[in-house]
Amino acid sequence: MIGFIWLVTFLLVFGTLAYQRASLVIWTISFALLLAFATKLHGFTVSVSLSWMVYLTLALLLNITPWRRRLSQPLFKFYCKVMPSMSHTERDAIASGTVTWEGDLFRGNPDWQKLLSLPTPMLTAEEQAFLDGPVETLCRMLSDWDITHNRADLPPEVWEFMKKQGFFGFIIPKEYGGKQFSAYAHSQIITKVSGRSITASTTISVPNSLGPAELLLHYGTEEQKHYYLPRLARGEEIPCFALTSPDAGSDASAMTDYGIVCFAEHAGQKTLGIRLNWNKRYITLAPVATVIGLAFKLYDPDRLLGHQEDIGITCALIPRNTPGITIGRRHFPLNTPFQNGPIQGKDVFIPIDWIIGGVKQAGNGWRMLMECLAAGRAITLPASTLGGAKVLSYATGAYAHIRKQFNMAIGRFEGIEEPLARIGAYTYIMDAARTLAVSSVDMGEKPAVASAIVKYHVTELGRKIAIDGMDIHGGKGICLGPKNYLGRGYESSPIAITVEGANILTRNMIIFGQGALRCHPYVLAELEAAHLSDPKAGLIAFDKAVMKHMAFGMSNVIRSVVLGLTSSYLVVAPRGKTKRYFQHATRFSSALAMMTDVSMLTLGGSLKRRENISARLGDVLSYLYLLSAVLKHYHTQGEPVDDLPLVRFAGDYCLYEIQTRLDELLRNFPNRWAAFFLRRLIFPWGLHFTKPKDKLNHKIAQLLMTTSETRRRLSAGAYLAPEENVLADIQDALIKTIASEPIEKAIKSAKRNSEIVGYTILEQAQSALEKKVITMEQFDIFIQAEEARQKVIAVDDFTTAELARIIINVDQSYAESNGTDG
């Protein structure tokens, strides 16, 4: 019995120390005290003496560094042997950017107070004035039907307005004539404009995201900055950046575009430069660009720059009118006519100082691009998708109330409530995730992993709700024309899925592949130790990291078991109605950390090729990030009770998806014994998280179908101006429909009781007025509501001649807008 008590005591002490992640010193002292207490009670019995021997052996080996390194040395040699090789581009991608909240989630014990205390992004007075002034004006100028059907371009006056108002200089500092806006302001502007026109928002996005201006800001020479940045800010130069090639899409390192360092004549003088040949496609703004940012592989066969022939991927700025460039033709991405097309260059000679950053940046192009993309990916595409989602949730909720079938609003049907609830909840998630990522950019971070998570999931959720919106609208959604506010967004949703890292690549290779190395507290340190040229220094660094890693792994096993058995009730979390979501997130954070370590240990270098495994691990990290963002967003907005259905739907959705991905991972884990034990550790009571309940669907649908504060908060930031437009018509019809519903109910009741006559609702209303069932005022309210409803549900129709596109010479249209030859 005494032995059993001591065994339980030992396990409790061991488990407590591991759960709390005690330091080695605390472990050593704690077990010394435990054994001292046992010795005092029982003396030096055989078992106590044996325990002291084991304890002293381990304590000396682990605490005396030279002795400990003798243990870690064979492990270090084995690690160096099995460690997968990495290309130069992979190392640059992993090293790019910084780690933000996703790093806390990877550590298995997130500090929720740290999350909640992160600064709330705010607009400056200047930024707010720009949104209320030029951005509102631009939105009023945009007619998406005219842009997409008639012109296949923005009107000349829109081009001119955007240049004069500085829409192409958000990221450029004031000293160069730019706006120097925050990432949050940039995101808010794109959100508002994209709800009106994807063509316009994309045109604004490119000069303000990954491209010449950003590369110049971070890496350009002073001469390059002072020449180009003021011209870019004023719109005198329209930039594009050419990266993608026919044979090199997601795998940019496979590009065949190249440059040879050589001497040639330039401006009448013998000049050291680069002779370039390239074939690029999918380049946004290329047809109208005046300056081209180009990524290419640079070679120096004559060693004119040094001792290396293969210098690597390099970026340069090249004026459009440089001899040898073919540019101007266009791609047509899914009926969304933002300027996009191919560029070819044949024997194009450029001076060596046209390299961005000069000669010293030759070969650093891939690192430059990855570092810029780490921040930019969090802004443009999530904001563009969110703008459409806000408009969709605002309009679809109202439409579901306005549109009637079977004598009732279609939003009353459970079959409509389900997709309508998804639209609302997913929009909430998208807004929360976008805001959290953008706020980290404004704090000076370059959130490489977080930006990949947000880009992937916001665009995927956007595509899903585009389908839901189309399903709810039915025929109204598929008939294109000025009255259609869904069609072009539905058509264009795959575009965001494809660009800045295709979503399949992002999910399968980037989120976990980069996240495991950057976010894990010790893996990157171990990897860097293995790459040190000095084996002794490598062992010292590896020993320090691996000892902590082993303790970290042991802790996560204990935490996973304890939190699984107790259903995470032991987790200390912020109080309130969302407390359980914080607790469950902590539990799954520990499970993710444990699964990551086990996957690395059992699969080793082959994990790099096990894309389905890494994708599911990445999904767990992603949904933890999305859930964190939702909880932070709710807290930031003051925790309005009315928004709880959205928060609970989002929380239930994320937890269910985490559970599902872990279950799929365990079902397909190659090491079946490990999978067996891991399932018992992570899910000791089985799978009990479910999809959001039908009751939540109903509550959210009701919130979106009325003029609720929740609906207003959800659509905040979208262009919803009250002047004559489709969205204003929808809001007007919703308000009038709600006001007329008691009147319509009285009319229908009178009809059922044979008090009035009439075959149509209008005839019945007239009869109800004559029979004094309703008053003249009520009759007017009802008729106005019916007229407003008919206006909203109407669709466009055309003659065949009207459907034929009005062909405009695009070069001429652009030339009119900037006063240059196309």
- Active site residues per annotation: 500
In angstroms and rounded to an integer, the radius of gyration of the C-alpha atoms of the chain is 31
What is the phi/psi pair of residue 587, to 5°?
Answer: -60, -50
d(C-alpha 389, C-alpha 479), whole Å: 20
d(C-alpha 490, C-alpha 497), whole Å: 12
β-sheet bridge partners, residue 673: none
| Amino acid residing at 452 | A
d(C-alpha 323, C-alpha 319), whole Å: 9
CB atoms within 10 A of CB 175: 11
| CA contacts within 13 A on the Cβ side of 393 | 36
Distances in whole angstroms, Cα of residue 164 to Cα of each of 143, 154, 179: 20, 15, 12
Are 621 and 453 contacting, i.e. CB atoms less than 8 angstroms apart? Answer: yes
Q: For residue 487, how far is the Cα from the chain centroid? A: 23
How many helical (H) and strand (E) elements, i.e. helices and strands, does the chain have? 36, 9
Six-digit token string for 19 = 């759960």
Six-digit token string for 724 = 């004559």
Name 79's Cβ contacts closer than 8 Å, sequence gap at least 6.
526, 530, 542, 546
d(C-alpha 199, C-alpha 178), whole Å: 22
d(C-alpha 358, C-alpha 219), whole Å: 9
Are 433 and 458 contacting, i.e. CB atoms less than 8 angstroms apart? Answer: yes
Closest residue by Cα to residue 154 from 164, 165, 143:
143
Distances in whole angstroms, Cα of residue 366 to Cα of each of 94, 105, 297, 319, 802: 11, 28, 10, 21, 48
Six-digit token string for 40 = 């005092």
Residue 723 burial (10 A CB sphere; 0-12, 13-18, 19+): exposed
Six-digit token string for 330 = 């266009």
Length of the chain: 822
Closest residue by Cα to residue 59 from 36, 20, 32:
32
